């Protein structure tokens, strides 16, 4: 399994990926799932991938050389000369389809699903930052202000915290912190998501010079996140009013009138109740 998050904020973009791959519980490995293609001052492109590792590694490699015929009849389109991230997403989609054509039938014969999903984010000079979620069929969707982040892989455990914390005006540092909290919640619940993490932070307009760190078990900041978040969560939880069952006064009564439990079924023994 895998867990990756990409967030597009007003201030820039944040990417986090885990490193664990597994074929069953007894065969785990460590592979990076993040790659950056950049030409400083001209373009910055980051990709996170989930799914079958042979498929996503092939996609990653081939994307560097994939080309599509130019519509204007000029040079073929590549990630190195594309003038929009939309075109880069099209190229990635074409690459996915190419790997599907090459490997898909043999994988299917072997009973292995052609399984891949990618978060593609970046900026090309003259254009705003854009982020896409690319599916195994090569189709894709783009992040918007309403939905400013994408997840791939084991997304459910870490979603509530992102939903509550991340909006487009969140700072890059806060979004990086939030993505690490989300990753921590996921790693606690699913053994197939594991350290080290790759964390990449891109500032809008910088067209390179992104911050890229590898976070392992000894990382002091991540250790602080792991220990502090759980403890503070507990403090908040303890500080919230408990429900009250007695009839004392409370601002937030839990018991309210309901007819939901009135219809008890009659059963043979009059002391027995089914509610």
> Residue 109 CB, nearest distance to its own copies (Å)?
25
Indicate the burial class of 30 (C-beta count within 10 angstroms; 0-12, 13-18, 19 or more).
Answer: exposed
Q: Which string of DSSP letters, residue by residue, matches 195-236? A: SPEEEEEEETT-SS--EEEEE-TT-HHHHHHHHHHHHHHHHH
| Positions in 171-210 near its own copies (CB under 8 A) | 171, 173-174, 176-178, 180-181, 185-186, 188-189, 196, 198-199, 201
**CA 3 – CA 251 distance, rounded (Å):** 41
Number of Cβ atoms within 10 Å of the Cβ of 60: 19
Classified as helix, coil or strand, 43 is strand
Residues 17, 4: contact at Cβ < 8 Å? yes
Interface with its own copies (CB under 8 A), residue total 82
Is 248 near its own copies (CB under 8 A)? Answer: no
Q: Pick between residue 107 and residue 180 the one whose CB is nearest to its own copies.
A: 180
Among 23, 28, 40, 115, binds its own copies (CB under 8 A): 40
Smallest distance, its own copies to C-beta of residue 182, A: 9
- Determine if 261 is a binding residue for its own copies (CB under 8 A): yes
38 binds its own copies (CB under 8 A): yes
- The SS3 assignment for 141 reads strand
Residue among 97 and 177 whose Cβ is closer to its own copies: 177
Residue 152 near residue 7, CB atoms below 8 Å: no
Per-residue DSSP letter, 77: B
Our finding on whether 244 is near its own copies (CB under 8 A) is yes
Binding test (CB under 8 A) with its own copies, winner from 163, 169, 205, 217: 163
To its own copies, the closest distance from the beta carbon of 125 in angstroms equals 13
Positive or negative torsion for Cα 123, 128, 134, 140: negative
Using CB under 8 A as the binding rule, the residues of this chain from 221 to 240 that contact its own copies are 221-225, 228-230, 232-240
The answer to whether 152 contacts its own copies (rule: CB under 8 A) is: no
* Nearer residue to its own copies within complex by CB, 28 or 173: 173
Over the range 45-54, which residues count as b (16 or more CB within 10 Å of their CB) and which as e? bbbbbbbbbe
| Cβ at position 131, least distance to its own copies in Å | 18
* 22 vs 104 by CB, closer to its own copies: 22
Residue 160 binds its own copies (CB under 8 A):
yes
The distance of closest approach from Cβ of residue 228 to its own copies in the complex, given in angstroms and rounded to an integer, is: 6
C-beta closer to its own copies: residue 25 or 236: 236
> Residues 132, 111: contact at Cβ < 8 Å?
no
Choose, by CB under 8 A, the member of 26, 71, 242, 249 that binds its own copies: 242
Angle (CA) 187 55 180, round 5°: 25
């Amino acid at each position: 399994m895998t867990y990756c998050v990409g967030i597009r904020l007003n201030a820039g973009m944040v990417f986090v990926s885990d490193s664990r791959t597994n074929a069953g519980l007894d065969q785990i490995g460590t592979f990076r799932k993040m790659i950056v293609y950049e030409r400083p001052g001209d373009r910055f492109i980051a990709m996170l991938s989930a799914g079958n590792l042979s498929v996503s590694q092939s996609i990653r490699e081939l994307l560097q050389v994939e080309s599509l015929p130019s519509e204007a009849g000029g040079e073929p389109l590549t990630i190195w000369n594309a003038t929009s991230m939309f075109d880069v997403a099209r190229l990635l989609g074409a690459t996915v389809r190419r790997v599907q054509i090459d490997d898909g039938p043999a994988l299917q014969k072997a009973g292995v699903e052609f399984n891949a999903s990618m978060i593609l984010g970046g900026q090309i000079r003259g254009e705003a930052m854009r982020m896409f979620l690319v599916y195994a069929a090569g189709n894709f969707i783009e992040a918007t202000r309403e939905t400013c982040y994408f997840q791939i892989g084991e997304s459910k455990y870490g979603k509530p915290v992102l939903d509550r914390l991340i909006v487009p005006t969140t700072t890059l540092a806060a979004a990086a912190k939030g993505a690490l909290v989300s990753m921590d919640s996921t790693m606690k619940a699913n053994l197939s998501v594991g350290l080290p993490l790759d964390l990449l932070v891109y500032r809008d307009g910088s067209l390179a010079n992104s911050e890229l760190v590898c976070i392992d078990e000894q990382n002091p900041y991540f250790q602080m996140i792991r220990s502090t978040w759980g403890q503070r969560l507990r403090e908040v939880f303890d500080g919230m009013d408990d429900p009250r069952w007695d009839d004392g006064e409370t601002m937030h009564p839990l018991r309210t009138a309901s007819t939901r439990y009135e219809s008890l079924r009659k059963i043979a023994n009059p002391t027995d109740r089914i509610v």
